[in-house]
Amino acid sequence: MRILPWLYLVGSRQFGLSSPWDCHIYALRRDHGGILLIDAGSGLANSRIIANLKAEFGDPLPPVTILVTHHHPDHAAGTAPLARELNAEVCTSDLTAPILTAGQSDNPGYPEHMVYAPCLDVRTYRPGATLDLQGFTIETIPVRGHSEDSVAFLLDGEHLFSADIVFYGGLLGLINAPGSDLTAYRQDLPKLAGRNIQGFFPSHGLFTIEDGQQHIDTALIELQKGFVPRAIGQGDLIF
């Protein structure tokens, strides 16, 4: 599903593109370059993700890099098999890499048949670094609060892939799970203030191609109040 001339959605629960356990999986490609995937999904529908990629980009596919936002299973459990099937390079922060390379045996809330397999070959970066992947220049912005290893990706200084950090309407990704922390949100979310972000592409729910900054600003205002801010799961947006 094409969003912009260089941006596609190739996996998603909400848009019915892959497994109900998958986050949004964005594919970036400019001109005739390689493909940059943002996250890999749960691994429960890799064949559908690959079919979606081939429908958009042809068969055989150009080279693929998978850039993982954080370690949660709906984003990362499928990384190892997807990378193997696509012969893709995997890149993630040095906060997430230890979990990716070890895999996870205990994934509460996810189907028992889901496998979070170790991904042994991972290229790492230090959060805050600027990456050049498949022709895209990406500023990495670590923002704790949803998880300790969450990183947002800022493309061309104006398009933000916000992972589960902040969602459309200013919802936070504050969840009842280890590593999710409102104090960390207060400390780190201001890193996304005042950036005049246009394209705003969270990993669940709605996205927008213009005036994305308003959703971040709404979250920042909510964080200054004395009550627990609106967060994913509190309304009908589960994930």
* Binding positions for Zn ion, rule: CB under 5 A: 72, 164
Query: Smallest distance, Å, CB 110 to Zn ion?
Result: 12
8 Å CB contact between 148 and 188: no
3-class DSSP assignment, residue 220: helix
8 Å CB contact between 194 and 214: no
Nearer to Zn ion, 102 or 177 (CB): 177
Pairing of strands 199-202, 159-163: parallel
Can you tell me the distance from the alpha carbon of 118 to that of 82, in angstroms, rounded to the nearest whole number? 12
Nearer to Zn ion, 183 or 224 (CB): 183
DSSP codes joined into one string, 121-146: --EEE-TT-EEEETTEEEEEEE--SS
Nearer to Zn ion, 13 or 72 (CB): 72
* φ, ψ (nearest 5 deg) of residue 61: -75, 150
Query: Smallest distance, Å, CB 161 to Zn ion?
Result: 13
- Crossing angle of the two packed helices 46-57 and 79-86, in degrees rounded to 10: 40
Query: Smallest distance, Å, CB 201 to Zn ion?
Result: 15
Query: Smallest distance, Å, CB 173 to Zn ion?
Result: 6
Query: Smallest distance, Å, CB 80 to Zn ion?
Result: 18
Kindly state the DSSP code that residue 190 receives in the 8-state scheme: G
Nearer to Zn ion, 164 or 188 (CB): 164
Shortest-Cβ-distance residue relative to Zn ion: 72
Nearer to Zn ion, 13 or 29 (CB): 13
